[in-house]
Structure 1
Amino acid sequence: MGATEEGNSQPLRSYAEAVDWINGLIPFGIRPGLERIERMLEMLGNPHRKLKFIHVAGTNGKGSSCAFLTSTLLRGGYSVGTFTSPYITKFTNRFQYNGEDIPENTLLGLSNRLYPLVEQITGTELGSPTMFEVSTALAILYYAEVCYPDVVVWETGLGGRMDVTNIVTPIVCLITNIGMDHTDILGDTIEQIASEKAGIIKPGVPVVSCAEQPEAIQVFKQTAAAKSSTLYLLGEEFSYERTGLNGAGQQFLFKGPFRELPIEITLQGEHQCKNAAGAMMVLEILRQYMAFVFEDEDILNGFKGAAWAGRLELVQDHPRVVLDGAHNPEGAETLARSIPEIYRYRHLNLMMGMLSNKHHRAYLEHILPIVDTLIVTEPDFRRKMDAEALAELVQQLREAKAKPTLELIVEPDWREALELLRLRTTQEDLGVVSGTLYLISDVRAALLHQTDSEKGW
């Protein structure tokens, strides 16, 4: 299908040029709506209609849930495409087949197929497709015309209803949870955000949700009823009971409508038990109603083997440094609860950097009570929040939320901030880096000496 051809007639001559071209569409921003992706896929013959998708939405936990699903499906003998964002290390991370990134040459070939279509659409009333729209089309082409997976684990970019990924009709949906994030686009109430996420629910397609707020649950029940979709809700149709916790991971008992199963995972934090339970319910639907066949041993090994970078990830032992991409209030609440439960330490030293489009007061209200030294810095990204502005917000909350002995350090250069964190963290202490995944990506690459890190949304 020409995915590796480069000839002189091709507008993009290298992998780097292809990535630069796609990222060059970022200034067109996040423009909710499906018109441009519909036009692109029509021009390609609607390749998405050949594929089976598991559509995953939610405020937090989408990436981890995709990791659980991918790992267990692979262990069960199925071929799996996994489309996620943002990526931590390299642009190709977002397009995976059986746990491996798309080859650079394949991405180049597919980009050259999309390039003239993007140019054509740009000249119409629709305007230029965005970076995420082109990435989504590229993923569909890759899975439908290059590698042909049995199933595609398909993560939403933002929201659900008007998200570009909503172009597909899945075989099952998973909505992990609902929280206050991207309120400038999705709405500033739980009901509004839940309504956007519920937009992925399709007529007759079963949906699993781990949402717990009554107002979100009400939205999902109403939407599922209107679409004649069966809703499997945490706490009603299925549940989990945490049974064990140690330095290597944790155990829980999954209780579903068809059976119970004890499961072990290595991802840390009680919230990962919830994410894993949601993924397990999805697998049970596939097994019970869609002729997917799984041996229990493969399911158990799949959950145990699932990993997800930048989520309560211990990346260094001397001193101990944990990375966690918590960047909204719900993420901060989970981090503040999980860190003291998992680790023993004398002082907690936290380095954080944020984007300017977020409301960080609630984040800080959750995290400040457990921190001894806070280093505020700036991610290497165009929409970064000024470190001084973040520090000013900390000062406003200091008296009510922080320890009286809190030491606040402002260091805009993230590399200098990381060096400060490492110098101040003794073997009895714990260093944590949190905030936007753009910061996590750079810090992770630096600590693990990864030279090919690209990072981005």
Structure 2
Amino acid sequence: MNYEQSVEYILSIPLFGKKNGHHNTEALLREFGNPQDSMKTIHVAGTNGKGSVCSMLSYIYCEAGLKVGFFSSPHLIRINERFKINNEDITDENFLACFLKVHGIIEQMIKAGQPHPTFFETLFCMAMVYFADQGVELVILETGLGGRLDATNMIKQPLVSVITQIDYDHVAILGNTLQKIAAEKGGIIKQDCPTVLQSDQNEVVEVIENICLEQKSKLYPVQPIDYLISKRTYKTIDFSIQNKYYYYDRLTLNSSAPYQILNAATALTTVQVLACQIAVEQSEVVRALEKFYWPGRMDVVHEGLILDGAHNLSGIKAFTADIHENYSNRRITLLFAAMKDKAYDEMIEEICKCESIKRIILTTVHEERCLELPKMEETFRKYCDLPIEIENNIEKVIEQYKTTNGDLLCCVGSLYLVGEVKRILSGGY
């Protein structure tokens, strides 16, 4: 089996993979001697911001001289993006080697009558094998879905559990109230391990506080924070920031999105919580945030093109607030696609409130869950009377904005859309 065949096999797993509690993951990891138990791990869950926080932590601890493994999801272009060491994607050769090790055990499990591990369980086990083989000193672990039943929750004693912003997403699985969703995310909180909480929503805070009491986990709330933006370009933000844990008089964040400041505050709080175990100099933090890059989140490709993977109401609110505040002098066109299992109606309603958007282009992506164009158009027309176009050829739309005459194209609604645009820009089609 070669690399391409291994990827094809993994991508086919959702067709026959069935979630079976943690039994599949336990069985797989046991065969490799439970490598996750000997790794120092930072475990991060949340609805929005968890990938950004993980990436910032990875950059910070790399800058501090550690060999850092980072497991994330989803990928935008290549599946290798999910496995990083020192912010470099796994090579095709190492990916194949890890897959063959895990696949061999999976075949034994199937012969013994056990169910096939799911897509995500397989990838998580591959990540643990890869990080163990490469001798990483710290693992940054992003949950896939929820927390309590997530495959990543095989981690028994993380250095710290981090909970980012919580909002309505995957409600059919996680629950239809913030309290229920918070309880699922809070499932990663472990006995006697500290917890960092980004949210200041009362119903979320109450749930997480109660879980921390039960688990004897010391809680470190990120908010309130005090920050001041001193300069903003279309690529970066200069700001000062402080809360009761730290003070930085000047940081430059390699992102133009103000909401990333809260994610930076969460990463900085986490670093401070772990300061007695892993020392990090302020100068290392400064350099790390200057290098930080997390694609597809208010990602300014050039002055005429922004990619944002916002795919729930709170993400869309942050996106529209940002473009209205900072790009209202531009003629903004929105390229939109969404998944039909998301709360697309309220996302579209929020988009239509943004007066800075002057034109809508609707499209689809190569994903069976994508919302059908007629339903997408019907929903937009319910909330706004802006010019609406249908265009299945994303490359054609992107081509129009390669050189800008002051117009701005924003691609939003789904990380799948962001991934397809990234693929086009990288010549992947």
Match of 1:254 among 214, 238, 241: 241
Instruction: Please tell me the root mean square deviation across aligned C-alpha atoms, in Å.
Output: 1.9
Check conservation: 1:388, 1:410, Cα contact below 8 A.
no
Matched, 1:372 2:358: yes
Instruction: Give the CA deviation at 1:29.
Output: 5.5
Who is 2:395 aligned against? 415
Matched, 1:163 2:142: no
Matched, 1:147 2:127: no
Q: 1: distance between equivalents of 2:20 and 2:60? A: 32
Q: 1: distance between equivalents of 2:348 and 2:309? A: 14
Q: Which moved more, 1:406-415 or 1:199-208?
A: 406-415
Match of 1:193 among 165, 171, 181: 181
- CA change 1:426–1:95 in 2 (3 A) is closer
Check conservation: 1:268, 1:342, Cα contact below 8 A.
no
Who is 1:427 aligned against? 405
Q: Deviations over 1:367-415 (max 9, x none)?
A: 12222100111011122111111111111222xxxxx5x1111223433
Q: Which moved more, 1:221-230 or 1:25-34?
A: 25-34
Matched, 1:322 2:309: no
Check conservation: 2:62, 2:68, Cα contact below 8 A.
yes
Who is 1:10 aligned against? none
Check conservation: 1:32, 1:164, Cα contact below 8 A.
no
Q: Deviations over 1:191-231 (max 9, x none)?
A: 01000000000001111111121100100100001100011
Q: Which moved more, 1:320-329 or 1:31-40?
A: 31-40
Please give the residue correspondences for 1:232-271 in structure 2 after superposition, counting only pairs within 5 Å.
232-235=220-223, 239-247=225-233, 248-262=235-249, 263-271=251-259
Who is 1:384 aligned against? 370
Match of 1:312 among 298, 311, 319: 298
Q: 2: distance between equivalents of 1:168 and 1:102? A: 22
**Which residues of structure 2 form unaligned runs of 5+?**
none
Q: 2: distance between equivalents of 1:124 and 1:333? A: 49
Q: 2: distance between equivalents of 1:74 and 1:407? A: 47
Q: Deviations over 1:137-156 (max 9, x none)?
A: 00000111x21111011000
Matched, 1:303 2:289: yes
Q: 1: distance between equivalents of 2:99 and 2:165? A: 34
Task: In structure 2, give the amino acid aligned to 1:329.
Answer: L
Partner of 1:195: helix, strand, or coil? helix
Task: In structure 2, give the amino acid aligned to 1:82.
Answer: F
- CA change 1:364–1:156 in 2 (3 A) is same
Please give the residue correspondences for 1:396-415 in structure 2 after superposition, counting only pairs within 5 Å.
396-398=382-384, 404=385, 406-415=386-395
Instruction: Give the CA deviation at 1:125.
Output: 5.9
Check conservation: 2:28, 2:105, Cα contact below 8 A.
yes
Instruction: Give the CA deviation at 1:126.
Output: 4.5
Partner of 1:106: helix, strand, or coil? helix
Instruction: Give the CA deviation at 1:339.
Output: 1.3
Partner of 2:84: helix, strand, or coil? strand
Partner of 1:25: helix, strand, or coil? helix
Partner of 1:117: helix, strand, or coil? helix
Task: In structure 1, give the amino acid aligned to 2:366.
Answer: D
Task: In structure 1, give the amino acid aligned to 2:199.
Answer: A
Instruction: Give the CA deviation at 1:130.
Output: 0.8
Q: 2: distance between equivalents of 1:179 and 1:161? A: 16
Q: 2: distance between equivalents of 1:200 and 1:122? A: 29
Task: In structure 1, give the amino acid aligned to 2:364.
Answer: E
Check conservation: 1:240, 1:273, Cα contact below 8 A.
no
Check conservation: 1:208, 1:282, Cα contact below 8 A.
yes
Q: 2: distance between equivalents of 1:439 and 1:392? A: 20
- CA change 1:198–1:126 in 2 (3 A) is farther
Who is 2:107 aligned against? 119
Check conservation: 2:19, 2:117, Cα contact below 8 A.
no
Check conservation: 2:231, 2:239, Cα contact below 8 A.
no
Check conservation: 2:76, 2:418, Cα contact below 8 A.
yes
Tell me the number of residue pairs that the alignment of Structure 1 and Structure 2 aligns. 424
Task: In structure 1, give the amino acid aligned to 2:390.
Answer: V
Normalising by structure 2, report the TM-score.
0.94
Match of 2:341 among 348, 357, 362: 357
Instruction: Give the CA deviation at 1:337.
Output: 0.6
Who is 2:163 aligned against? 175
Q: Which moved more, 1:29-38 or 1:162-171?
A: 29-38
- CA change 1:112–1:200 in 2 (3 A) is same
Check conservation: 2:47, 2:164, Cα contact below 8 A.
yes
Matched, 1:450 2:420: no
Partner of 2:117: helix, strand, or coil? coil
Instruction: Give the CA deviation at 1:349.
Output: 0.2
Q: Deviations over 1:21-61 (max 9, x none)?
A: 11111224673721110111112211111101111111011
Partner of 2:152: helix, strand, or coil? helix
Normalising by structure 1, report the TM-score.
0.88
Q: 2: distance between equivalents of 1:240 and 1:203? A: 31
Partner of 1:375: helix, strand, or coil? strand
**Which residues of structure 1 form unaligned runs of 5+?**
1-12, 399-403
Match of 1:280 among 252, 268, 272: 268
Instruction: Give the CA deviation at 1:366.
Output: 1.6
